[in-house]
């Protein structure tokens, strides 16, 4: 909704809620600034009575669709008047039992960083006012569970705001197998946390395709652009599924590697078989999917790929790129 329209609807709602008697369309037209500027004296004759009537009817319908109860009555002069009685538009009291209050309290305490921390703290205070018992600690009610969503990347907040406002962004991004970052122009769709890392899904303008970016690989500042999206935003953005496929979670083959004894416990957890080779090395068979080469590189000299040959070549290429950087 445009800001001007939202402000006009808010002013109309306040007028209808604040009056003690029904107000006619003429009175509302002379009281609300947006109506005065468009249709009142001195407006340059740009607005007509019919135009005002159409706008007022649309505004009234929009407020009713948002839930405001607007009554239509006749006043003493025979004119039609409008008002929104407070008792008809008052929300019922919020009642929460201990379980519900504790669950909402936990949700409010999840965000501890970035711009959402203040909003979450304010929400928790409102929950207490609405029924969260003072003697109920959300952590104690759920076994001392203390939820956190870690946000360490500086890129998180500007990307979160760009996703919200539908603004394209530009940033420098270093791929796992690249020595230097590249400039990416992206229409951001959604942010999601997966296994302790934040990812951005969006439309890569330069490549003309959907892409997912790991925030920890964004270097420098994220710059937003005052422009429209060029690609439609999908109804469902599958960030986790995409990342899982890239990370080798969706595997259709097996790889055989040598792993130094006492190292690579995440790899050992995935292994379908482990065989001791002696001399401080083990041989593992692990599921092989797209992105496994990037993961193996993180273990450096503790991993040697035996087969397949293409996986070994990919890991060698990545290691060489890192060495050049």
What mean pLDDT comes out for the span 8-14? 90
Question: Could you read off the pLDDT of 223-235 as tens digits, one per residue?
Answer: 998 888 999 988 8
Taking each continuous run of H as one helix and of E as one strand, the counts in the chain are 12, 12
Residue 1 pLDDT exceeds 50? no
Q: In angstroms, how far apart are the furthest CA atoms of the chain?
A: 102
192: left (phi over 0), alpha (psi -120 to 50) or beta: beta
DSSP states along 97-147: -HHHHHHHHHHHTS--STTHHHHHHHHHHHHHHHT--TT--HHHHTTT---
User: Which domains does the chain carry?
Assistant: 3-88 (1.10.10), 98-141 (no CATH), 156-243 (2.30.30), 253-324 (no CATH)
Question: Could you read off the pLDDT of 139-175 as tens digits, one per residue?
Answer: 444 444 455 555 667 888 899 889 888 999 999 998 7
Answer for the pair 25, 59: CB distance below 8 angstroms, yes or no. no
Q: How far apart are CA 128 and CA 51, in angstroms?
A: 47
Residue 128 pLDDT exceeds 90? no
């Amino acid at each position: 909704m445009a800001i001007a329209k939202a402000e006009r609807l808010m002013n109309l709602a306040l007028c209808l809620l604040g009056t003690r008697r029904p107000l006619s369309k003429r009175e509302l037209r002379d009281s609300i600034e947006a109506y005065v500027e468009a249709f009142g004296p001195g407006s340059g004759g740009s607005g007509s009575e019919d135009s005002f009537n159409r706008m007022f009817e649309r505004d009234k319908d929009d407020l009713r669709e948002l839930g405001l109860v607007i009554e239509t009555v006749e006043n003493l002069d025979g004119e039609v008047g409008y008002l929104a009685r407070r008792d008809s538009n008052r929300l019922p009291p919020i009642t929460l039992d201990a379980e519900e209050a504790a669950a909402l309290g936990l949700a409010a305490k999840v965000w501890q960083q970035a711009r959402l921390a203040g909003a979450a703290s304010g929400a928790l205070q409102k929950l207490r006012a609405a029924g969260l018992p003072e003697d109920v600690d959300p952590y104690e009610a759920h076994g001392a569970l203390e939820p956190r969503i870690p946000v360490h990347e500086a890129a998180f907040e500007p990307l979160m705001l760009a996703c919200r406002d539908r603004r394209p962004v530009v940033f420098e991004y270093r791929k796992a197998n690249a020595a230097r970052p590249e400039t990416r122009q992206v229409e951001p769709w959604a942010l999601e946390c997966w296994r302790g890392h934040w990812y951005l899904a969006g439309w890569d303008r330069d490549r003309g395709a959907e892409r997912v970016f790991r925030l920890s690989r964004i270097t420098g500042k994220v710059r937003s652009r005052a422009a429209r999206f060029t690609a439609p935003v999908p109804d469902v953005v599958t960030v986790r599924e995409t990342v899982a496929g890239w990370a080798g979670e969706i595997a259709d083959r097996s790889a055989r590697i040598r792993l130094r004894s006492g190292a690579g416990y995440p790899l050992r957890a995935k292994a379908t078989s482990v065989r001791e080779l002696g001399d401080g090395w083990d041989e593992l068979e692990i599921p092989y999917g797209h992105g496994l080469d990037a993961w193996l590189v993180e273990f450096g000299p503790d991993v040697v790929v035996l087969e397949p040959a293409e996986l070994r070549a990919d890991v060698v290429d990545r290691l060489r790129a890192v060495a050049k950087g």
